[in-house]
Amino acid sequence: MLKKYQYIFFLVLFFLTISLAAQKKSRKQLEQDRTRIKKEITMVNKLLFDAKKSEKNALEDLKDLNQKIIVREKYISTINLEVQSLSNEIVIYEKDIQQLDKKLITLKEDYAAMIYKSYKSKSQQSSTLFLFSSKSFYQAYKRVKYMKQYASFRKKQGEEVYLLTNKFLKLKDSLLFQKQLKDTLLSSEEEQKIKIEEEKIDQQKLISEIITQEKKYKRELRKKEQEQKKISERIDKIIKDAIAKSNAIKGAKKSKGFLLTPEAKALAVRFEQNKGKLPWPVESGLITRRFGKQPHPVYSGNYINSTGIHIATKKGSNAEAIFNGEVLAIQTQSEGKKSVLIRHGNYISIYNNLERVYVSDGEKVKTGQPLGKIFTDRITGKTKLIFVLSKNTTRLNPTSWILRN
């Protein structure tokens, strides 16, 4: 049976984790998170909703809408955390201003009293008379020293009043800025909430449409899953055959992985050293499906076992090599779509869903080199790269290896 709000469970779990992690984050980090998620919303709109579609597909539309709502909820959650942080800062600023104001009043009163006393003293006797009325040279010396200290103290008090006044005014300006920023964020949060409510109405309409044609959409879903399974099996065979070939050298010790030459071993080491720093396989994009086993975004009880990640990108984009390597194989899939496998020692990066390929078998490639043009679906209007990463025959989570976008 179709779940109306299947994404909610994952949202709760996700935002609980985010909330706990955010407790240690500074407001600057939260601000950076908010900017990044705002860009993600823009990407979702551009890559998933602005694409020209030749046919309407409620299942695809619902999946895209769910992702949009999740990103928007993430944005609201980050705003909430930033507002909390701002509220705490505002309380501290208000306390500091209150204390500083009291200190400044006392300091100004003391300084005014000192100036008045000095003026009164000068009107009664000049400093010269005060000095020459000394009874001894030692007393005169002491009076000169006192006069210098008194002048220095007056100057210091005046400077302290000036500095404290400046600090007070800056704190008031900062407080005003913090309050204005808080109001802006709250306004933005309200705007996002309104949009989510509108999107949830659209979501319900799509759910109703899918329910009436559930058999049709489930059939399409099974077909796509079978296609992906076949592609994955063909790729596994290519890798296993390549491993067997590398182990076929006479006298070589048998291994379940690639038998590496010193050059290939050095390349694999460099690849490992760049874990988490490898470039994206596209110039810009949005992850629309994560790695591993995960519930289907629409149908409850159905699971997707993703061998890689799906990246939506702009039409006409190329797949790009994430590291130096050698083309292990080029494979043609259904509808003429192609896959390119690049070997980096005992690591394999796989670029699926290409409509045209720019490289050939055995060719040496460099980091960032275009490998092929990514296929654009004429029905959905979407351009999507399916990116897979393996160590020998073991699938790896690509998001652990590439830079955070």
The total domain count for the chain is 2
Based on the domain organization, do 120 and 9 belong to the same domain?
yes
Cα–Cα distance between 385 and 348 in angstroms, integer? 16
Calculate what percentage of the chain has a pLDDT beyond 70: 77
Cα–Cα distance between 157 and 161 in angstroms, integer? 6
The residue out of 212, 231, 251 marking a domain boundary is 212
Based on the domain organization, do 177 and 289 belong to the same domain?
no
Instruction: Judge whether 67 and 288 are in contact, CB under 8 Å.
Output: yes
The residue out of 183, 212, 241 marking a domain boundary is 212
Based on the domain organization, do 369 and 222 belong to the same domain?
yes
Whether 384 is in a domain gets the answer yes
Question: Beta strands 347-357 and 370-374: pairing type?
Answer: antiparallel
**Alpha carbons within 13 A on the beta-carbon side of 354:** 24
Residue with the bigger pLDDT between 63 and 129: it is 63
Q: Which amino acid is at 175?
A: L
Report, as an integer, the average pLDDT of 382-394: 95
353 closest CA partner among 381, 372, 329: 372
Based on the domain organization, do 79 and 22 belong to the same domain?
yes
Residue 253 domain boundaries = 215-400
Predicted TM-score of the model (pTM): 0.71
Q: Mean of the per-residue pLDDT values for the chain?
A: 81
Residue 334 has pLDDT above 80, yes or no: no
Based on the domain organization, do 261 and 286 belong to the same domain?
yes
Cα–Cα distance between 370 and 224 in angstroms, integer? 27
b (16+ CB within 10 A) / e for 334-347: eeebbbbbbbbbbb
Based on the domain organization, do 48 and 21 belong to the same domain?
yes
Confidence of residue 14 (pLDDT cuts 50, 70, 90): very low
Cα–Cα distance between 335 and 337 in angstroms, integer? 6
Cα–Cα distance between 306 and 289 in angstroms, integer? 8
Tens of pLDDT, residues 233-261:
999 999 999 998 888 875 666 778 898 88
Instruction: Judge whether 27 and 89 are in contact, CB under 8 Å.
Output: yes
Residue 402 has pLDDT above 60, yes or no: yes
Specify the range with the lowest mean pLDDT, choosing from 133-142, 290-299, 389-398: 133-142
Cα-trace Rg, the chain: 35
Q: Please report the pLDDT score of residue 8 as a whole number.
A: 46
Q: Most confidently modeled of 30-39, 79-88, 343-352, 379-388?
A: 343-352
Based on the domain organization, do 323 and 184 belong to the same domain?
no
Based on the domain organization, do 49 and 137 belong to the same domain?
yes
Confidence of residue 308 (pLDDT cuts 50, 70, 90): very high
Q: How far apart are the first and last CA of the chain?
A: 35
In this structure, what token pair is assigned to residue 27?
């407001």
Whether 405 is in a domain gets the answer no
Q: Please report the pLDDT score of residue 252 as a whole number.
A: 63
Based on the domain organization, do 391 and 358 belong to the same domain?
yes
